[in-house]
Amino acid sequence: MMKSLVISGVACRFPGADDKQGYWAQICAAKNAVCPLPAGRWLADEWFDNAQDTAYFQTVPGGYVSQLEAFDYQHFGINRREASLMDPQQRWLLQIVWQALEDAGYNPKTLRGQKVGVFVGAMANDWTTLQFQDTNALLPGHVTGTGHALLSNRISYLYDFKGPSMTIATACSSSAVALVHARNAISSDECDLAIVAGVNAILTPVLQRFYQKAGLLSPSGRCNAFSDHADGIIRAEGIGAVVLEPEHLARNQYCHFIAGHINHDGQSNGLTAPNGPSQESLLRECYSKAALEPADIDFIECHGTGTSLGDRIEINALNRVFRGERKVPCGIDSVKSLIGHCEAAAAMASIIKVALMLKHRKIPANPFSDTANPLVAKGNLALSSDGETWGAEHKKHFAISSFGLGGTNAHLVFTSPKSAVVNTAPEPAFIPIAAKDEAGFQRQKNAAIRSLSQGADIKQLASGHQQLRSQGQVRDLCFGRNSKEVEESARLLGKPTYRAPFDANEAPLVFMFTGQGCQYPGMMKGLYKTFPRLRRYFDQCDAVYRQLTGSSLMPIIDNDSQASCLLTKARFAQPVLFAVEWSLAQWWMEIGFKPDAVIGHSIGEFAAASIAGVMTMEQAISLVIARGDAIDDVNGNGAMAAVLASRETLAELQQDVPGLSLAVWNSDAQFVVAGDSAAIEAARMWGVKKQVRIKPLTVTHAFHSPQMAAAKSDIEAAASKIEYHAPQLNWYSTVTGNKQVQQAIEANYWSRHLVNTVKFKPAFDTLLGDIPSGQGVIGIEMGSAPVLSMLAIKNGPNTGEFYSSSIEDPQDINTFCETLRALFRRGMPINWSALNTSESDSDLVPFAFDLTDFSRQSLARFRKTSMSTHQPATHSKQAITSSKKIIEPLKEKPAIQISGLVIDVLASVTGHPAELILPDKRLSADLGLDSVNLIELVDKLRERVGEDAMPELSELFDVQTVGDLMAILDRTTLPLK
């Protein structure tokens, strides 16, 4: 039974488009990518004798890609010398396969050793033509750098894939045939998933000349497929790859691949002439395999080369197949009209186009719909003119035709993917960008900005990047609710420059719980409405509060008309503060931030104790409710004032003004005093006289002072009903000013908490004193305003970093997002699922490689260089067959510096700069030396030191590092040759 297979990953580079987003935008805009030959591609006078041909082929129009020979050789562990000898098609494939696998949701490194098949469609062999001009200058790398087989085999080798690996060469249909072979391999369990690619690079004008001689080259300079002025082919280059895998394994879906069929024209009017009856038979057989009727097919991406003969034969064959009743004509098109004929990659250009169409549920308009070939209208066919779209509930069947120059034909049928998940959650998208170094980070950042500007889906990018792109030494986080916000955020990535003062993995994490005074109508509303996971935790608290009181805390969060009035009552204000802080702490922990210590200020101690495991959330809320009721029942004339002065000035104030008590000790320059209203007014006047800043506070009671003594018994009665546990975290008490001992507290702790001074400064100092010097500390404030974090920043150590969850703004979510960003930049891990509550398809910004330009010399300069640098060939066979052991040092010959010789020879063989070839560098992993390079290394060493001083080849095969090679050669004194 055939498995249900889907295309789950896509990557490409085609004329006018460097990635899939650019390709889709180009298709939707019907933009013609044909242009004159790029400068430096070749010198036409090296290929043609007459001036007319030289002039034409120096600027011959075609579909060309940018940076033809740019390659990130270090990413794949290949040395620079070997990379320079590789066919650009090999280089392209290595990079595009990486991007396709990531697009499918895979880290390519995790597939090493797996049954992954590689199926490549290829046709051009220009590189061999160029490289084999001078057989005397051939190196082993020339052989492994050329040839169709190596296009697929090098991918399997470097990625360590164990499935089938083959290159299909059926000319223009190569990549379509490759897809059918991949389907069969998966269905027969030869591989679990497959990479299918098509590649074509135009390095010489040879095929253009052939098309010209055969009368196939378009005089108008464009493939005008299915138009009434079709006049020939325009060559194009490009590369595309897709990941094909069983549906149940796929993390992403572009479309289902439901059937493929291959046949051959047999004898027709000529080897290269298309055969209508064979095309007709091909389609019928394929639809039979798919259990479909021709009437079920909604659209065909045709071969459509734009030759008058080819178009006529293809349209007539389609008309014969699609005759009969249809509700609407079958749409037809050919992407060759926009990019030219990519030959072996042409079918892959069509496959990716169809995959994108089915994913985006859109058939873009055809550029020639107003000038269609009259034969189109004679059957049930049509060129799309208005860009048809459809809803997710409609299932579409699309097909692709691809016909090879030599008569091998393929037809493929695809259908709509599983309905994409539409993410309507209000939370912002968080897109991590990471790399191993600053240069790599800038490349990935720029690629992200480009993708965002092209309209990439931010939710899908967030999903993909969180899975695969969140690891790296240099990293940052862009975020926003819409594409514009995310793009603006992306432009700020890496700014300001950040250098961590300490290792975040060693620094303890502290949760700081805000105290009384930071409550306000609408507190945490933005976060509550935006993030469902946070909302869930707050709702748990509110449910307990409703059960115990019959009222809800939501009017305060919603900032409705009752909010301000409710906050004047401790029975509302204190529970809502607890609920906000507890829910924030639970959410931060779910995101991945588990605290090593907690510290609470005033009412914040209840949330701190609950998070530390001293009591449950339900117990804490019941106690806070009782506390609020007891406070509201206290009648008095209490007042409070902030004192911004030194401890000595505070002592002078308390001596001069009777009736004041110290309520809060925030720092040695920031205090709060309490007393009756007369005492607080006297303190204010004293401050005016002494020029000391004393500011009365708007409060309902004189908290943390003897004026609260009347509520002590009620508090202690409520507290005594709770069974307490020893703290499971380091809990720094602002009642005692010390770290709480690892045993259960007594009920009178909370009555003392009500009337005693809030000793935040001593408790915070104790916490800092418990941290080893230089280790640093990270603090996150759990509260609706930045109070403790500001205190910590002002009074804490230079090796501390302190962050807030919110500012005093009902709509604020940016503070949380920036804190998350800062912690991510520090290297702290994030559980992304706690931020994303709705499923979403995945997407990725195409990986931005560190490209080196390996542009070739012109043919004449190549020949000149090859001849001038030619050395007589040496043969490694002697070293291979020799059984001679290393001889004793040759005393009569002068010794040379071994290390310098080894570095010099390795630089010659690998192409790496000599200064980078250090003794600890590994020959294979770091310098990219393989068995073929080793033979060349042996030859060059023999030239320098002589046959008699060479070790056996078997010994060299065991050498791991540059230092090992130096050591084995140093066992004899090598003579200078």
State the catalytic residues: 172, 303, 341
For the CA atoms of 76, 78, 84, 90, what is the dihedral angle to 10 degrees? -50
Residue 224's closest CA among 366, 334, 300, 337?
A: 337
Measured distance CA(478)–CA(63) in Å, rounded: 35
Contacts of 963 (CB under 8 A, 6+ apart): 919, 920
Half-sphere exposure of 638 (CA within 13 A, CB side): 23
Per-residue CA distances from 286 to 257, 258, 261, 294, 396 (Å): 12, 10, 5, 10, 16
Q: Is 228 helix (H, G, I), strand (E, B) or coil?
A: coil
| Rounded Cα distance, 501 and 919, in Å | 32
Cβ contact 413:270 at 8 Å: no
Q: How far apart are CA 670 and CA 672, in angstroms?
A: 7
The residues with which 141 forms a beta bridge, in sequence order, are none
What value, to the nearest 5°, has the Cα angle with vertex 237 and ends 234 and 239? 140
d(CA 315, CA 401): 12
The single residue listed with the structure tokens 């051939």 is 138
C-alpha 371 chain-centroid distance: 43
Are the beta carbons of 263 and 281 closer than 8 angstroms? yes
Rounded CA separation 886/971 (Å): 8
Q: Which residues of 795-832 are buried (b: 16+ CB within 10 A; e: fewer)?
A: bbeeebbbbbbbeebbebbbbbbebbbbbbbbbbebeb
815 SS3 class:
helix
Kindly list the distances between the CA atom of residue 322 and the CA atoms of 313, 679, 977, in Å, as whole numbers in the listed order. 14, 97, 78
Using an 8 Å Cβ cutoff, are 522 and 824 in contact? no
Q: How many CB atoms lie within 10 A of CB 334?
A: 28
Strand spans (E) along 416-501: 429-435, 474-480
In angstroms, what CA-CA distances link 910 with 136, 904, 933, 940, 941? Answer: 20, 10, 8, 12, 14
CB 591 within 8 A of CB 555: no
Separation in Å, CA 375 to CA 317, 319, 400, 917: 11, 9, 19, 66
Q: CA–CA separation, 78 vs 74, rounded Å?
A: 6
CB-neighbour burial class of residue 281 (10 A; exposed 0-12, middle 13-18, buried 19+): middle
Q: Which two tokens stand for residue 901?
A: 């010789």
Residue keyed to tokens 């931060």: 588
377 and 361 Cβ atoms separated by less than 8 Å: no
Peptide bond just before 496 cis, omega within 30 deg: yes
CB 449 within 8 A of CB 491: yes
**At a CB cut-off of 8 Å and minimum separation 6, what does 17 contact?**
23, 25, 26, 33
189 CB burial (10 A radius; 0-12, 13-18, 19+)? exposed
